[in-house]
Structure 1
Amino acid sequence: MHQAIQMSDTLWYLGSSDRRLAKFENCHPVPLGISYNSYLVMDEKTVLLDTVDHSICGVFLENIKSVLNGRPLDYIIVNHMEPDHCATLAEVLLRYPEATVVGSAKTHAMIKQFFGDLNLQGKVMQVKENDTLSTGHHNFRFILAPMVHWPEVTVTYDETEKILFSADAFGTFGALSGNLYADQLDFGDFELSEMRRYYSNIVGKYGLQVQALLNKAAGLDIQMICPLHGPVWRAANKIQWLIEKYSRWATYRPEDNEVVIFYASIYGGTENAAEVLANALGAKKVKNIKMYDVSVTDVSYLVSEAFRASHLVFASATYNNEIFPYMENLIRDLAAHNVQNRSIALVENGSWAPVSGKKMSELFSSMKNMNFLQDTVTLKSRGHEEQRLQLLSLADTIAESVFAAELH
């Protein structure tokens, strides 16, 4: 049975969800699955906007067939060539060989890379910035969005219905369960955290490119945003809220003036120091402190938290004369995702040669606008009264910085 959802007189949703997938891109846990979105416009000419992942190929093809109901497929607009959105392109063309494939020059180059034996001679429309396609009642404008988050990415703006088909921008983790629109959901802290986790890990590195796309979008009258993952956005206040979130993330400004403590402990000494610091911050009336054991928490959640909070503490044991591996992986991931503009503090531990603090500091020195709040607190095996007093002093410094900070 088909699962297509009619969104307007001419627009249909053809996607579906994969709830069996363990890790998105074989990297990021998706405990609530993922949706793969595709859209079909039924105008004088029919237009398919993106295809889907192989995992939902069967129902996707049923959706297309049901909505077309015998009509030909005239155009396939390819906004993004990543396989979770283009894996079924060849399957669609096998069934609708008359369709013209629309995309940027880099898109068509990637089609050849992924589908070397696909013959598209005479069935290609190559578009540049602000090129348009009229399909009768609808007029589609193409806006290049390189590195959001691949170099070939295009977003498509339907000038008639004021819809932005936004590729991977404005997407989120999580399957869809009957509610297609964000305004049908209780979009609370968990949903926001999954959207932030999606943004920070998938797109977060490319803040400048996201800003460029937001600047282009600012000149458009957008009444609906149709991403390739997650719910569709259509309420004006929701769209404005969404764009404001993206603007903050793209400029690496923290959302919350709060403290997150990341710790890597082998036998408990470093964890104990992190607890002492957290308790001291609580006594200073610092609210909403978060603590994460980096050895047991997937790094995608940790990256997301670093994008969210203003003050970050990294407490690590020394391991093989280096940073404990899970902590080093986290810090390198933060650097790779271009995290910046944070206040940070370091705690190190080591039984005979505590060097993790020095090495963490070296990694952070390559990142932009990272404000070190105080000298590294050093433990040898476990903390004693001297180290407890140093942690209390560090709590004073962090609390003073939190209360002094104003988010803009």
Structure 2
Amino acid sequence: MYYVQEIASDIFWVGGTDKRLERFENMFPLPQGVAFNSHLILDEKTALMDTVDAAISAQFLENIEHVLNGRSLDYLVVGHMEPDHCANIEELLRRYPDLKIVGNKKTFQFLEQFYTFSKPDNYLIVKEGDELPLGRRTLRFFMAPFVHWPEVMFSYEVTEKILFSADAFGCFGSLSGNIFADQTDFEGVYLDESRRYYSNIVGKYGPQVQTVLKKLAKLEIEMIVPLHGPIWRENLPYIIDKYQHWSTYQPEKKGVVLVYASMYGNTENVMNLIAGKLAAKGVQDIRMYDVSKTHPSYIIADAWKFSHLVFGSPTYNLGLYHGMQALLHEMASLNLQNRKVALVGNYTWANAAVRDMTEIIESMKKIEFIGEPFEIQSALKAEQLPELDQLVEAIYASLNADSAELVAEGAGTSTKLI
């Protein structure tokens, strides 16, 4: 049975939600599933804004048929050519053979790479600033390359001032009836998943996000409609401020994320001591993760959130423990930067963990190492506690200095509605 919602006059949400999907891109855990948003505009001409994943095609096609109510579909605007948003293009062409597919040059290159059909007579190629009149409504297109694919483009509906933002401003997590952010407990339900989505999916492309934010700053925007997650129609500066922090790699708040690998508990013991000593000093925001137990996407999300990171790992096969090596390489690949870092190493006969962690982390930008790396040989000894206390004191002092910097930054910054 069809299920649609009207988000503005004659603009309908015709997407769907998949609570059963286990992994996004077969990689990122989805404990609460994911939403696939698509919208249908009714005017003198009809326009569909993207399609959805193949998993919910039946629901999606029924939604479209219901909203069209016997009308034909004139345009399909493809903001993003990733298969979770374009899986239904071929079926739509079968149902509506005169359908015009709207995209940029790169859109159609990708379309013909993914699919076996070629319908150049149905292609409508648009460029930066081009407009598509639908009747009383007009769509204006803005290219957003590498947010997070090279073909991405945003569509701005001029009358209602609605920004269809492709994957930008999206998040993991399914929708449960309420499709607007202001209808939900966003901070309690969606904020962490929005950060995890941004840092792991878009995080590498902070400079490109900044370019798009500046480009859109001249627009008056009343609603932001992403392809995943809730729609923003109130308090837009809130989510824009998050994107400002995330895309400039500025931590949202001071705090310590302790990440460790531990084969027999000895490295974990050191990390527990560091956490306990910091807590005794009054540090409140402390997170701890075992790389063998926690999916890296959650660790990366908290690395985006907090100011200080402590990594601890044993040497393994004359190198770095595999889980830690993979996590640090992923962080470097995602362009994480501007963090304060402390290191803990463990070895029995060959000392490589600190060396290898340092090498990967030094490849990142604007990283400040705190104190001297703390190393144990197999297990912590009592005589090493004063040295460990020195590292804890260095982290604590850095946190206090960082807190003053964040306060000063907040006092001199205002959030502007794009």
Question: Normalising by the residue count of structure 2, what TM-score does the alignment of the two structures yield?
Answer: 0.96
Listed as ranges, the gaps of 5+ residues in structure 2 are: 410-418
Listed as ranges, the gaps of 5+ residues in structure 1 are: none
Shift of 1:124: 1.4
Output the aligned Cα RMSD. Answer: 0.9
- Segment of structure 1 superposing worse, 349-358 or 31-40: 349-358
Secondary structure in 1 matching 2:120: coil
Which residue identity lines up with residue 134 of structure 2 in the other structure?
Answer: T
- 2-structure distance, mates of 1:187, 1:146: 28
Shift of 1:116: 2.6
Secondary structure in 1 matching 2:8: coil
Question: Normalising by the residue count of structure 1, what TM-score does the alignment of the two structures yield?
Answer: 0.98
Shift of 1:189: 4.3
Secondary structure in 2 matching 1:395: helix
Superposition map of 1:35-50 within 5 A: 35-50=35-50
Conserved? CA contact 1:377–1:387, under 8 Å = no
For the pair 1:276 / 2:273, whether they are aligned, the reply is: yes
Report what 1:262 is aligned to: 259
Shift of 1:122: 2.2
- 2-structure distance, mates of 1:388, 1:318: 21
Secondary structure in 2 matching 1:7: strand
Conserved? CA contact 1:354–1:379, under 8 Å = no
Shift of 1:170: 0.2
Superposition map of 1:1-400 within 5 A: 1-118=1-118, 120-235=119-234, 237=235, 239-400=236-397
Secondary structure in 1 matching 2:40: strand
Shift of 1:8: 2.3
Which residue identity lines up with residue 170 of structure 2 in the other structure?
Answer: G
Secondary structure in 2 matching 1:188: helix
Secondary structure in 2 matching 1:265: coil
Conserved? CA contact 2:41–2:48, under 8 Å = yes
Conserved? CA contact 1:171–1:228, under 8 Å = yes
Structure 1, residues 77-135: CA drift from partner, whole Å, max 9, x if none?
000000000011111111111110000000011111122323x2322110000000001
- Segment of structure 1 superposing worse, 363-372 or 379-388: 379-388
- 1-structure distance, mates of 2:324, 2:178: 38
- 2-structure distance, mates of 1:315, 1:108: 46
Conserved? CA contact 1:323–1:355, under 8 Å = yes
Structure 1, residues 55-82: CA drift from partner, whole Å, max 9, x if none?
0000000000000000010100000000
Secondary structure in 1 matching 2:94: helix
Report what 2:416 is aligned to: none
Aligned length: 405
Change (3 A) 1:190 1:326: farther
Shift of 1:229: 0.2
- 2-structure distance, mates of 1:137, 1:190: 37
Shift of 1:190: 4.5
- 1-structure distance, mates of 2:163, 2:187: 24
- 1-structure distance, mates of 2:389, 2:132: 64
Conserved? CA contact 1:346–1:357, under 8 Å = yes
